[in-house]
Chain A
Amino acid sequence: MRRLLAFLLILFAPLAQAAALGAADARHLLNRAGFGATAQEIADFARLARAEAVERLLAGAVTEARTPLPAGVEDYIRPSRLRGLSDEEKQALLRTQFEIGVALRGWWLEEMLRTSSPLSERMTLFWHNHFVSSQQKVKSARLMARQNRLLRRHALGNFGALLHAAAKDPAMIVYLDSATNRKEQPNENFAREVMELFTLGEGHYGERDVKEAARAFTGWSIEPETGEFKWRPFIHDRGEKTVLGRTGRFDGDDVLDILLEQPATAEFIVAKLWREFVSADPEPQEVRRIAARFRDSGYEIRAALRALFLCEAFWAAENRAALIKSPVDLVAGTLRSLAFETGELLPFVFVLRQLGQDLFGPPNVKGWPGGEAWINSSTLLARKQFLERLFRGQELRERGRDLGGAPARAERVALRGGGRLGEEGRERLRRAMEAVRFDSAGWLALVERLRLAPQEILLPGEPAAAAPAAGEGIERIRLLVLDPMYQLK
């Protein structure tokens, strides 16, 4: 009997694999791998088999952003330049830096909306939350932008290469105080985080490993006048070190290679990818299996993603609608999937910040905790208000009414955020908010033409609060996005 069953499975498994995804599976894959799939994308992917769909996503990855960087980002402010300035000049410089930082955030959000490969942006964001640096400490838009470029270049590339590059990245060196790590006085910050957060995870190394590794990383620094990486041999400790049982005159790259040899590293990364893409609770056996494949491939990130997207758990019913949308999922996803027209993205930068995901500003070296931590009474109300406002403005406009009068709270929040931008900045915000447009009739017509239902595009399952078929037109869409299920993916 068992043999017969096995035979039947072998017979039918390829068939099941080869069957077309259909709209629900296509939406699931696209919304997990990217942000807010459009109706057209869902229709296109619905026709593909699983493996085909996954290969298309992986093959479509890009290594460069298509949106040009905002003006001023590439300017590097030398720390010494501040010293000679008067208070007014200093203030003006800080204000410019703040504005450029805001522009950089808007730039990334724009890239998320316009990219041909949402998976590439999702992975860039994933690595931003892994190799964390924050503008708050780095205080240079140029260094943050360059780190972002580096993360994107390797986003679906090789993890070993990414680790080596990220470790020497100037923003990282500033963020984790590597420049103060010298032979006579090692600073353990980077050595500790590289083991705990970037590779092995807690419990796979000892304090001695941290101390010895810190010695190996001495000499990695930056040139303050240019903001470029600088190797300073005179502060490097050339002595012998013992890290994870290996002894030698290691430098930083040697230690990173030792970390990459450890099986724990692949498992740690795969478990984190699992929480990003599959569910909040990684299945240990599956993680080990996929991690082995990841390591055998020489740490090719595509290999890990392919295995994750094709594993049974990714498609299992219990893991559908099981992840809470991040603020980026919610904001970029809503604008994308409903094909909102936007002007400058400034207001959404402030919305993201209000919802707890300030791009280029993770809270600490551990990154955004994510999951349930995204949702509390304050952020949930802010989410609903953001959504409601998107549609209310449109509704009023469709009824031919002016949006004049007192600005609503979401707008006030955005305007308050723009306070530091000055009067001109507030005016830009106001214009940007007025430029937000949603063509509900056009969108509904497209959905109908593609033989899809609005709910299939917007929700990962049946509505939790709204009656399944209540409302018509824009009101129907509004009810769906305000449903608790819209917070899930």
Chain B
Amino acid sequence: MDRRDFLRWIAVSAGPAFLPARAWAGAAYERLLILVELKGGNDGLNTLVPFADPAYHRLRPRLALRREEAIQLDERNGLHPALRPLLPLWQAGELAAIQGLGYPSPNLSHFRSIEIWDTASKSAEYLQAGWLARAFAAHPPPAAFAAEGVLVGSGELGPLAGGARAIALNNPAEFLRQARLVQPAMRAGNAALSHIRKVESDIALAGARLANAQASLRTEFPRGEFGNAVRTACQVLAGGAETAVLRLSLGGFDTHQNQPGTHASLLGQLAEGLAALKSALQELDRWERTLILTYAEFGRRPQENQSNGTDHGTANVHFALGGRVRGGLYGAPPALDRLDGNGNLPFAVDFRSLYATALARWWGIDPAPVLNGRFETLPILKA
């Protein structure tokens, strides 16, 4: 399928995205969503490498990966060699890459751009609640869940900020110790005290449900911070605690200087972690009921900088993985011949389409009110 065919196919298959309201099956939260944040802005061009594009080599005389270095997926694209642990998923048709994710009038500040991604806002719009918090406010996950969202590796609530029943933990035992400091208030009070009471009872509930989160798994987890985060996430699930969302974080992608070694190491951690995640989810018989999505504030500039690194960019490639993912390449390849005034890529797919896909196609809830608008869903999931 060449690019034009592909775009036409997208247009056709995205048609049914506009379903009437009555078609929403309603909040299938037994299906787990795992978000993996690549903090700092992963370099998409050296993640899914367009090795056949001469512009790529022209823009990156030092950083470009050669065809023979990349793990070739087709005639044009290859994975960074450090992503080899993901190759079995690709071959099994369980790994999708969505190219060109971004938004209009991109912001190049880490802080602001991740806020835009977290709140699913427009570039010049300031929303307080995260997109998942809004989804859960409209369609609450079951009260029996330990939490609506569990964050591992970073305390920032991100997409769950602003009202979701979310807990951040680095290791469950430590969380349980902390939770003991919470003394759910005995008496009723004003709005401010009620809010604190609610958060305290969220913590207490999560604490009670996480009591078994020490369960051991046969899967071997990679060493290092991300491997530990994956292990923690899997232990929560293995202990029987339910949640609608798990958010993992891997930091360090802001590779302005001497990118090659750092980037390879980060992608290696990511790939090994994701492979272990698949193994553990299979062990728990949840692989078919899990959708994993990566995201980041932005991609990096196509032109390499003077320090053997890359500066803040815009549109980026992200991965979707899972037992029900329809593997392959989606979106549009990077248009290296159409860079903007800052030398950055135009976007091809609005990032809110990815969210709309998770909301509509994964959970069966109407994405339009959550995302304040209609965004086409992507055909990355099997029916």
Contacts and interface: CB of A to CB of B under 8 A. Distances in A.
Interface of A: 87, 90-91, 134, 136-137, 280, 318, 321-324, 354, 363-366, 369, 371-373, 375-382, 384-385, 388, 409, 462, 464-466, 482-485, 487-488
A377 B178 contact: no
22 contacts: A87-B257, A87-B307, A318-B190, A321-B193, A324-B196, A364-B112, A371-B192, A373-B161, A375-B195, A376-B157, A378-B156, A378-B168, A380-B182, A380-B200, A381-B203, A385-B181, A409-B170, A464-B193, A482-B181, A484-B200, A488-B192, A488-B193
Interface string B266-277: 000000000000
Contact of B111 (A136, A318, A465): A136
A116 to B, nearest CB: 30
B366 interface: no
Contact of A381 (B178, B184, B189): B178
B166 A378 contact: yes
B166 A376 contact: yes
A137 B185 contact: no
Contacts of B13: none
Interface in B112-165: 112, 115, 126, 128, 147, 151, 155-157, 161-162, 165
A316 B187 CA distance: 20
B182 A384 contact: yes
Contacts of B115: 363-364
Given A280-B191, A322-B191, A364-B126, A378 B111 contact: no
Nearest to A371: B192
Interface string B39-73: 00000000000000000000000000000000000
B262 interface: no
B192 A322 contact: yes
Nearest to B162: A373
Nearest to A134: B111
A377 B111 contact: no
Contacts of A483: 183
Contacts of A318: 190
Contact of A484 (B126, B179, B193, B206): B193
Interface of B: 109, 111-112, 115, 126, 128, 147, 151, 155-157, 161-162, 165-168, 170, 174-175, 178-179, 181-187, 189-193, 195-197, 199-200, 202-203, 206, 257-258, 307
Contact of B190 (A91, A134, A321, A373): A321
A354 B155 contact: yes
Contacts of A462: 187
A321 B168 contact: no
Most A-side CB within 10 Å, residue of B189, B190, B192: B192
B161 A376 contact: yes
Contacts of B199: 375-377, 380
Given A321-B193, A484-B185, A378 B128 contact: no
A382 B203 CA distance: 12
Contact of B183 (A323, A373, A377, A484): A484
Contacts of A369: 128
B151 A378 contact: yes
A280 B192 contact: yes
Given A376-B157, A376-B166, A466-B183, A485 B203 contact: no
A372 B257 contact: no
Given A321-B190, A409-B174, A380 B196 contact: yes
Contacts of B193: 321, 464, 484-485, 488
Contact of A372 (B147, B184, B195): B195
A484 B198 CA distance: 11
Contacts of B190: 318, 321-322
Contact of A377 (B109, B156, B186, B202): B202
Given A136-B109, A384-B178, A377 B185 contact: no
Given A87-B307, A366-B126, A488-B192, A377 B184 contact: no
Most A-side CB within 10 Å, residue of B155, B182, B206, B307: B155
B11 to A, nearest CB: 33
Given A321-B190, A364-B126, A465-B183, A488 B196 contact: yes
Nearest to A379: B155
Contacts of B178: 381, 384-385, 409
Most B-side CB within 10 Å, residue of A136, A280, A376: A376
A134 B110 CA distance: 13
Contacts of B191: 280, 322, 372
A487 B175 CA distance: 20
Q: Give me the 3 closest cross-chain CB pairs, A-B, nearest first.
A: A464-B185, A465-B183, A378-B168
Contacts of A366: 126
B192 A377 contact: no
Most B-side CB within 10 Å, residue of A369, A372, A377: A377
Nearest to B111: A136
A163 B179 CA distance: 45
Contacts of A137: 109
B262 to A, nearest CB: 13
Contacts of B165: 377
Contacts of B257: 87, 91
A323 B193 CA distance: 9
Contacts of A381: 168, 175, 178-179, 181-182, 203
A136 B109 CA distance: 9
A375 B195 CA distance: 8
A334 to B, nearest CB: 15
A388 B181 contact: yes
Given A380-B182, A381-B181, A482-B181, A321 B189 contact: yes
